[in-house]
Amino acid sequence: MKKLLLITLLYCSAIFQIFAQDEKTILIQHANIFDGTADTLAMDVVGFTKEEIKAAVNAASDYQTYVMAHVYNNAGIRRAIECGVKSIEHANLVDGPTLQLMKDNDVWLSAQVGVYTFIPHGYTEEQANKHRAAYAGIDHMFKSAKKIGYDKITFGTDIITDPKKIDTLNDEFIYRQDWFTNAEILQQATSKSGELLGLSHRFSPGKIGVIEEGALADILLIDGNPLEDLKILQDPEKKLHLIMKNGTIYKNEVK
């Protein structure tokens, strides 16, 4: 017990140091890392103990912000929810009942598609097979979410090993069309993501993800209508004519 208490105190101290460096939230690598050194995509592998997760959640709560958990499987997701985690990153292997638990507890799903559509450079065959399993789980995850009316889903991207893939991150808009309407995808990328980030009360400079009086002036002027054609967002250099963040204009090609 003394050893666990010491570890927890050190853990909390590290979290406080992170916040002292002006970080906004805490991400715990809870379970299922593609390191190839263990069966980390197994359905029963869980990372942090309940005590460790609660310590992170309590420390984050003291700073009026939240914890998100990098986790793929049901056991890890359920433990994270039980301990107060507010957002699940990835969750590719989640089942219907666990998604329902996320919905019942107002827990967010930060999912990504594009990063799983290819095998990252340098992966071993073991890692590649785990990556394929993660990709295969996305269809069930999103279909199950739609079936139960679970819509606390944000827009996320990811990158592994190859910096050149940064140029293709906006392809995520297109990949999601297999499960969501254009309007739903745009909501995930704006108001839904803004609502999740707004849970970081201490660090939030104001309301984000919406255009309304009193919110931060984060505005894009787009050449075209993404409600009709999301492909225009694949070419931000040409299609985004104005970029405004918190009232400051970073790009203006409006004529």
Q: How many helices (H) and strands (E) does the chain have?
A: 9, 8
Residues with Cβ < 8 Å from 217, sequence gap 6 or more?
Answer: 244, 245, 246, 247
At 214, the pLDDT band (50, 70, 90 cuts) reads confident
pLDDT at 233: 95
- Percent of the chain at pLDDT above 90? 58
Q: Are 227 and 187 in contact (CB under 8 A)?
A: no
Q: How far apart are CA 53 and CA 27, in angstroms?
A: 11
Note the pLDDT tens digit of each residue in 72-94: 999 999 999 999 999 999 999 99
Q: Which two tokens stand for residue 142?
A: 């999103």
The model's pLDDT over 130-141, given as tens digits with 9 standing for 90+, comes to 889 999 999 999
| Contacts of 221 by beta carbon, 8 Å cutoff, 6+ apart | 240, 241, 242, 254
At residue 9, does pLDDT exceed 70? no
Res 218: pLDDT: 92
Q: For 83-124, where are the alpha helices, taking DSSP H only?
A: 96-104
Q: Where are the beta strands (DSSP E) in the chain?
A: 26-28, 67-71, 87-90, 108-111, 153-155, 219-222, 240-245, 248-252
DSSP E strand boundaries for 76-218: 87-90, 108-111, 153-155
Do the Cβ atoms of 64 and 19 come closer than 8 Å? Answer: no
Q: What is the pLDDT of residues 36-58, one digit of tens each?
A: 445 555 556 788 889 999 999 99
Q: Which domains does the chain have, with CATH numbers?
A: 2-206 (3.20.20.140), 217-255 (no CATH)
Average pLDDT over residues 187-196: 95
The CA distance from 144 to 154, in Å, is 16
Q: Residue 110: pLDDT above 60?
A: yes
Q: What is the mean pLDDT of the chain?
A: 85
Residue 218's identity, in one-letter code, is D
Q: What is the pLDDT of residue 79?
A: 95
Cα(78)–Cα(89) distance, integer angstroms: 13
- Least reliable range by pLDDT among 8-17, 50-59, 210-219: 8-17
Q: Residue 14: pLDDT above 80?
A: no
